[in-house]
Structure 1
Amino acid sequence: MTVQEPCVASDVQLGDDGRLRHLLTLDGLPRPVLEALLDRAQEMADSGEINARLSGTAVCTLFFEPSTRTRLSFQRASQRLGADVLAFDASTSSTTKGETALDTFRTIEAMGVRGFVMRHACDGAVAELAAVAGPGTALVNAGDGRSAHPTQGLLDMLTLRQAKGRDFSGLKVAIVGDVRHSRVARSDLHALRILGAGEIRVCGPAALLPDDATLAGCTVTHDLDAALDGVDAVMMLRLQRERMAEGLVGSLEDYHLHYGLDMRRLRRAANDVVVLHPGPMNRGVEIDDAVADGPSSLILRQVGNGVVARMAVLEALLG
């Protein structure tokens, strides 16, 4: 998908006054802007806030890829702010007739829709539409290719703050699994750096780790036991099974043997370690039931925090 010369998402999303116009990536986001979103999300979580800040505003969930958690939590967030929600389904839309994402966007925008929450398989697709959006129209990246998933990064940081406090400087965090193909991992890495995390460890098979600047400043290892030693938080990533067909990993059993998180391995971490996973989970592959459903797991809290984190973003952009 190309609508113009490639644009840098971080250059598009902030206005001249430093305020958010779009949320496309956490990469390069000023720390005060990131912390303000987290603070507002926490206020909403504490109060159970439901308001009408977006009454009369239409928000379209423009998803060209499947989603459960992200799509539904954005819809829930929009409803709690009083917005009118339009749920776009690519499988039943004119995209099946050959309409481009750009023409689809412009068509819906012409109906008076101001907010767009977009997921797309192509890197940079959301930023390209943001670059041509009309005044007063705001886009939120709900996941583009393998580039970014900024609201997942926000809800993950909110969950970590609730468990570990606002000061990340002493925090040791391990991110485990298919980092190469994970937009979630990239957004989490961006956010952890911005918030000054003390140590970021990245672990996975060599074929599933990126070979670019993504891992700058991280401790990289292929040994899960070493990655877990004394860590305060573990972010497990879904093994994307198509990588097996590509020959990047062997069997599911082999992956679980070397990179699956079970209770035995978790004991290597700090006593008060917390476990996160963006979902959907492959139980018995990257994470065991006992861990996913155990006392260290914050996976369902992540889901709940997704609503308030996305409320904060929509309010900031459209309120």
Structure 2
Amino acid sequence: MTEAKTLPSLVELPKPRFRHLLGIELLEAWEIWSFLLAAVHFKRHLQTSPQPPIPSPLTGKSLVTLFYEPSTRTRTSFEMAARKLGMGVTHIAVTAASVAKGESLKDTALTLHALGYDAFVIRHAHSGAPHFVARVLEERARQTNGKVPSVLNAGDGMHEHPTQALLDLLTMWEVFGRIEGLRVAFVGDILHSRVARSGMWALLKLGAEVRFLGPPTMVPEQFAAFGVRICRKLPEAVKDADVVYLLRLQLERQQAGLFPSVNEYHRLFGMDLRKLQELCPQALVMHPGPMNRGVEIASDLADSEKAKILDQVTNGIAVRMAVLWLLLSR
């Protein structure tokens, strides 16, 4: 599927091959485009007043959010997206659930499966946790001859964050009218960033150029094998970029000694409006949030018209509606 001038109807969009959305790496380009095109439909729906009925709404289906790490944007937009599709929504506060008493991830998943949820949205500190839950639920469904719920990865360790990549692509597509040929520079803590990994896979599959820049201890050379251009200085990475994608320092995942100091990091890799205007005045700026103002991004840049950060947040609702609808309206 390519960037068609005429938008197919929602019901004409091909459904993804998988019941789950665990990452971008295994998706094909047409599947990414199905999610993006569906998101365009849902964004138009959200912007229309009064809102027209949704084809095949998910009324009667239920979703549970299970977040073992903090979240504002992802959890809230998943829950809002589900409610707008007519789903019932439950949030499990992990610190107040049986997890705090020592219950394993497997037993938590099986308990929620026994309650009949149709979709699990999971964020976890360990890479592969949503994949593990998906395998547990599939095995249980085989044992009981029951349904297999969909598992959606809302961020697993340093591995992937697929819906973030999709909303980022939608934001870029809205601005540039294309993805193919775009030059996107990710700047910051690449090593610990699931956002950078999912973004890399999505952009490369749709024909964009991806660049990584950060302290050498945070940009593994292995990424070059996937077709990423590894840069060592800010001007090299951003001089002709269409998008400068700033990443926060993930101090909660880091070991000591990866960079000299926060001040040194800001001097070499942080961006403010003046630096953007000098190095890449043509570029727009994106950030997955939460921002560390004064570290990777200055307030004058974050609050400027160059920043598309709040557009990313807005697009998260439409993208997550698209993902839920395509996975659950089978």
> TM-score under structure 1 normalisation?
0.90
- Note the residue ranges of structure 2 that are not aligned, 5 or more in a row: 1-14, 142-146
Which residues of 2 match residues 1-319 of structure 1 at below 5 A? 19-48=17-46, 51=54, 53-133=57-137, 134=141, 135-166=147-178, 168-197=179-208, 199-213=209-223, 216-242=226-252, 246-268=256-278, 270-319=280-329
1: distance between equivalents of 2:71 and 2:253? 19
Q: How far apart are residue 147 of structure 1 and its match?
A: 0.4
Distance 2:267 2:279 in 1: 18
Range moving further from structure 2, 49-58 or 60-69: 49-58
Cα shift at 1:228: 1.2
- Compute the RMSD of aligned alpha carbons: 1.7
Does structure 1 conserve the Cα–Cα contact (< 8 Å) formed by 2:16 and 2:327?
A: no
* Count of residues paired in the alignment: 301
Runs of 4+ in 1 over 6 A off after TM superposition: none
Q: CA deviation at 1:251?
A: 1.6
Distance in 1 separating the partners of 2:160 and 2:226? 16
Q: Percent identity?
A: 44
Deviation at 1:274, TM superposition (A): 1.1
Measure, in 2, the Cα distance between the counterparts of 1:128 and 1:262. Answer: 41
- Larger mean Cα displacement after TM superposition, 256-265 or 142-151: 256-265
Q: CA deviation at 1:264?
A: 2.3
Residues 1:117 and 1:214: Cα distance change in structure 2 (over 3 Å): farther
In the TM superposition, residue 270 of structure 1 has moved relative to its aligned partner by 4.8
In 2, distance between residues paired with 1:268 and 1:27?
35
In the TM superposition, what is the alpha-carbon distance from 1:187 to its structure 2 partner? Answer: 0.3
Give the deviation of 1:129 after TM superposition: 1.2
Deviations 1:74-95 (A, max 9, x none): 0100110010001011100101
Equivalent pair of 1:173/1:235 in contact (CA under 8 Å) = yes
Q: Deviations over 1:96-131 (max 9, x none)?
A: 111001100110110111100000111111011112
User: 2-side partners of 1:22 and 1:126: how far apart?
Assistant: 9
Distance 1:268 1:178 in 2: 23
Q: What SS class does the counterpart of residue 267 from structure 1 fall into?
A: helix
Question: Which sits farther off after the overlay, 182-191 or 123-132?
Answer: 123-132
| TM-score, scaled relative to structure 2 | 0.87
